[in-house]
Amino acid sequence: MNFSKRDVRSPPLSESPSNRSVSNWYKRNWNSHACASSIAGRTYALVIRGEAYRYGCHEHGVMLQDAIMESQRDMITESLRSCGAKVGVFLPIDPRGCANITLLQRLASWHGKHVHSSATVIARTQGQNVRGALQLFSSWAADFDTMILSRYDLRILQPFSTWHGCQDSSTIGIASRCEMQQWRNWNCSSDILFVVPRALLWAFNASVGASLYAHDSRYFNAPRGKAKVNPSACFAPSGESTSPGVPKGLGHGCYNSIAHRIGYEQLSFCWPSTSGVTEPNEYYQCCIHGSNRPLLGARAPSPLISPGPTPRGTDSR
């Protein structure tokens, strides 16, 4: 597989949506990329997991969440529809954090009539959150050819038609490898996005929460120090030991855990690896860790902010 950079130029990360939105920029550029023949006529489920409004419920935080939701609408659902696919959106809502009912409704407003289902998911760990998202989707899984599992803090910068490693209906697509040192050490993979065809959903479902070798452990560099990891744990409690800024149960061992069930040849990567999941790159912007958590402090004060157009403001870098 060729992991060289795609020839789509990304808009500057510092550019303000008030001057030029990611949505409009890509609408002018993605048509130059041919749709894969495997997309047309297929049905896709976009399932967005995690905590919404992790950047806060003040005006700036809402604008950042809007930019993320707009990007997933345009780069995933609209990109797929432009290639002849049908898309349904699932919104498992984690009630933790600052959002009131108005802001939670605002999330759904970005996808309108295409929201297939929305429900509250009670979770204390990332693994429980992923499991809750899968349970919400499971009742309708037979109606969809492919599930795309994304996050509320993941801003997509490339249309799905350019994710060449995640369009094969015979493989599970994972966002990317981790930074190369960790990939070489233990096959560390990013856990921010998964593209799972229906025929392999059983393998992904069986892997979530599982840890194959309980006593195997490695270390990797976390945002605020080193974290001890189990290289075959996929959103399992034993997956990563708690260290400053690093929650338990991340999914960096999912590549190994899923491969144990279906083989490495049935796994692929959507994007090239980057120097780190929080580092600027041309494929996505993601994640909030450690010291940024206090932004979740205050609940939204009133329903003054209601579903509607994206407020004008700064970029979500």
**What local confidence, expressed as pLDDT, does residue 247 receive?**
52
**What local confidence, expressed as pLDDT, does residue 172 receive?**
98
**What local confidence, expressed as pLDDT, does residue 124 receive?**
84
158 falls in which pLDDT band (50, 70, 90)? very high
What are the strands of the beta sheet with 115-120, ordered from one edge?
115-120, 86-93, 43-49, 146-151, 194-197, 172-174, 267-269
**What local confidence, expressed as pLDDT, does residue 150 receive?**
98
pLDDT at position 26 over 60: no
Q: Tell me the residue type at 174.
A: I
Give me the residue label for tokens 């069986």: 206
**What local confidence, expressed as pLDDT, does residue 219 receive?**
67
**What local confidence, expressed as pLDDT, does residue 135 receive?**
97
Structural domains in the chain, CATH included, are 42-205+265-296 (3.90.550)
**What local confidence, expressed as pLDDT, does residue 59 receive?**
85
234 falls in which pLDDT band (50, 70, 90)? very high
Structural contact between residues 260 and 237, judged by C-beta atoms closer than 8 angstroms: no
**What local confidence, expressed as pLDDT, does residue 162 receive?**
92
pTM equals 0.80
**What local confidence, expressed as pLDDT, does residue 11 receive?**
32
**What local confidence, expressed as pLDDT, does residue 248 receive?**
62
List pLDDT tens digits, range 263-308. 999 999 999 887 666 677 788 888 864 333 333 333 443 333 444 4
**What local confidence, expressed as pLDDT, does residue 316 receive?**
32
21 falls in which pLDDT band (50, 70, 90)? very low
Extract the tokens encoding 69: 């939701």
User: Mean pLDDT of all residues in the chain?
Assistant: 78
List pLDDT tens digits, range 53-78. 988 888 888 888 999 999 999 999 99
pLDDT at position 20 over 80: no
Instruction: Give the residue, 11 or 63, on which the prediction is more confident.
Output: 63
240 falls in which pLDDT band (50, 70, 90)? low
